[in-house]
Amino acid sequence: MPTRLFIDGQWTPAGAGTISTLDPATGEVLEEVGTASQADVNAAVAAARQALGSAQWAGLLPVQRAALLFRLAELVDQHHEELAALETRDQGQPIGISRQVSVTGAAEHLRYFAGWVTKLQGTTNPVSFPETLHYTRREPVGVNALITPWNFPLMILVWKLAPALATGNTVVIKPSEVTPLTSVRLVELTVEAGIPAGVVNLVTGDGSVGAMLSSHPGVDHVSYTGSTAVGKLITQASAQSNLKRLTLELGGKAPSIIAADADIDAAVTGNLLGATLNTGQVCAAYTRFYVDREREDEFVQKMAAGLQTLRVGPGIDESTQLGPLVSGRHRDRVASLVGVGRDEGAELVTGGSAIDRDGYFYAPTLFAGVRDDMTIMREEIFGPVLAVTSYDDPDEVVARANDTEYGLAATVWTRDIRTAQRYADGIRAGAVFVNMPPIPDMAAPWGGYKASGWGREMGPWALDAYTETKSVWLHYGY
């Protein structure tokens, strides 16, 4: 139903026309997708508000709410191959990533939060007031706008939807206009799972629809993943409307420190994956490489060789390791930043140009001899572009790695546990990975320091984002 919106349990015609979504491997139009009007957004928010206190939703027992989420996970499993192929067609990611990361990850995440429904506890607290019972309870925050990006459309939607529903909230989903198809399909599956009308609503369209939600007085919380620039606009919209709560998962520019004692072959394998997974369109992708000067030549040479052997092609082809970038616009942005890298004097070791074929392919690119003040070392590129520099002083490198507006992820490659721990202590980022690629996991918190965002997703931390804590004072000594 991609041309329609889903509001209050009905597939409704979109009030502001349609927009095309393309296959990034060919540039061909895949589907037309509806664009919501302000009236559509108002209707979706009103439906979510209405459902919030309804007997069909608020009246469910925890075991019943959990059962709906378990059922949705089962449906995702049943439609595994269909969802994976749809994600690959719309987003471009290699089919193996769609299967193992996006779809399997979505089902596991739904099950994990289904398990939380029956474990949402409050506390009793020793307040200093006589003959008083004090306890806390967790209540849903209310109507949540879930605004998602185009890099892992299905998985990132589920990172938000699963904890939101587990804690009894209602939602209005706004997927990226570039990759809306798996979000539409997931909403169809929520209907099949038996989630009541009004609990899950979907408004598709471009950023203007996201802006309508973030300035809407009827929305209590925006959970947003996307660029830092738009995160700032959402913050302003919140401040100027009802000061709605915000969870922001924003950009990154993760440093990778390769210490003198690192196993270089293992570092090359792990960093290749960390830098090029999903064609580098990963917020935690490793992009800035600080290599001990003694190991620099070996690392650069082996990384470049590794990048050159990656099999580039359409994601739907089973042998593909590196798919296209998501859109022509994004490919042009990556190309322009590579141009800036050259102009500023970085040494191009491999790649450096778009690949001459249909679709939005870009050659994996490595720059060496990069200075800390160069644009490619500072700006998020969100493509397969690596910038390598070296260091002499292990005590200085943490300060250089921290010299960024971002703080989402970082990695250290060493065989010495003291080095690992010293860097893990010193780095200002939401996640530090030692000798491994940047992997999110539903049991570990995910989120950023500094301009990489506010709040945490996953694990019990996600429950905080979607609940209010009520403090109840019960004086029985009157």
* Cβ atoms within 10 Å, residue 158: 29
Q: Which of 283, 296, 380, 457 is catalytic?
A: 283
Nearer residue to ligand NAD within complex by CB, 112 or 446:
446
Q: With CB under 6 A as the contact rule, which of the stretches 3-11, 53-61, 112-120, 224-232 interacts with ligand NAD?
A: 224-232
Q: How far is the CB of 170 from ligand NAD (least distance, A)?
A: 19
* Cβ atoms within 10 Å, residue 478: 4
Q: With CB under 6 A as the contact rule, which of the stretches 39-47, 49-57, 227-235, 394-402 interacts with ligand NAD?
A: 227-235
Q: How far is the CB of 260 from ligand NAD (least distance, A)?
A: 31
Within 8 A by CB and 6+ apart from 114, the residues are 66, 67, 69, 70, 73, 162, 166
Instruction: State yes or no: is 283 an active-site residue.
Output: yes
104 is a contact residue toward ligand NAD (CB under 6 A): no
What x/- string results for residues 410 through 449 when contact with ligand NAD is judged by CB under 6 A? --------------------------------------x-
Interstrand relation of 467-475 and 143-147 (parallel, antiparallel or unpaired): unpaired
Helix axis angle for 80-91 and 181-193, nearest 10°, is 160
Which residues share a beta bridge with 366?
350, 386
Nearer residue to ligand NAD within complex by CB, 168 or 438:
438
Report phi then psi at 455, rounded to 5: 90, 180
3-state secondary structure 57-71: CCCCCHHHHHHHHHH
DSSP string for residues in 330-362:
HHHHHHHHHHHHHHTTPEEEE--SB-SSSS--B
Check: CB of residue 381 under 8 Å from CB of residue 362.
no
Within 8 A by CB and 6+ apart from 13, the residues are 3, 4, 5, 34
Identify the residue among 113, 289, 290, 382 touching ligand NAD (CB under 6 A): 382
249 is a contact residue toward ligand NAD (CB under 6 A): yes
What x/- string results for residues 64 through 103 when contact with ligand NAD is judged by CB under 6 A? ----------------------------------------
380 is a contact residue toward ligand NAD (CB under 6 A): yes
Q: How far is the CB of 214 from ligand NAD (least distance, A)?
A: 5
Nearer residue to ligand NAD within complex by CB, 225 or 365:
225
Check: CB of residue 218 under 8 Å from CB of residue 49.
yes
Nearer residue to ligand NAD within complex by CB, 66 or 401:
401
151 is a contact residue toward ligand NAD (CB under 6 A): yes
Q: How far is the CB of 207 from ligand NAD (least distance, A)?
A: 3
Burial of 310 (0-12, 13-18, 19+ CB in 10 A): middle
Of the candidates 387, 345, 390, the one whose C-alpha atom is nearest the C-alpha of residue 367 is 387
Q: How far is the CB of 121 from ligand NAD (least distance, A)?
A: 27
Q: How far is the CB of 212 from ligand NAD (least distance, A)?
A: 8
Nearer residue to ligand NAD within complex by CB, 14 or 283:
283
Q: How far is the CB of 130 from ligand NAD (least distance, A)?
A: 47
325 is a contact residue toward ligand NAD (CB under 6 A): no
Check: CB of residue 252 under 8 Å from CB of residue 433.
no
16 is a contact residue toward ligand NAD (CB under 6 A): no
Amino acid of residue 388 = V
Angle, alpha carbons 146-152-158 (nearest 5°): 45
Instruction: State yes or no: is 249 an active-site residue.
Output: yes
Within 8 A by CB and 6+ apart from 143, the residues are 45, 48, 49, 52, 169, 170, 171, 172, 218, 219, 220, 221
6 is a contact residue toward ligand NAD (CB under 6 A): no
Q: With CB under 6 A as the contact rule, which of the stretches 30-38, 67-75, 245-253, 470-478 interacts with ligand NAD?
A: 245-253
Number of chain residues interacting with ligand NAD (CB under 6 A): 31
Of the candidates 427, 424, 459, the one whose C-alpha atom is nearest the C-alpha of residue 445 is 459
DSSP state of 316: T
Nearest residue to the partner ligand NAD, using Cβ:
210
57 is a contact residue toward ligand NAD (CB under 6 A): no
Identify the residue among 140, 168, 210, 384 touching ligand NAD (CB under 6 A): 210
Q: How far is the CB of 263 from ligand NAD (least distance, A)?
A: 29
174 is a contact residue toward ligand NAD (CB under 6 A): yes
DSSP state of 101: I
Q: Which of 31, 87, 108, 249 is catalytic?
A: 249
Q: Which residues bind ligand NAD (CB under 6 A)?
A: 147-151, 156, 174, 176-177, 206-207, 210-211, 214, 225-227, 230, 233-234, 249-252, 283, 380, 382, 408, 448, 452-453
Catalytic machinery residues: 249, 283
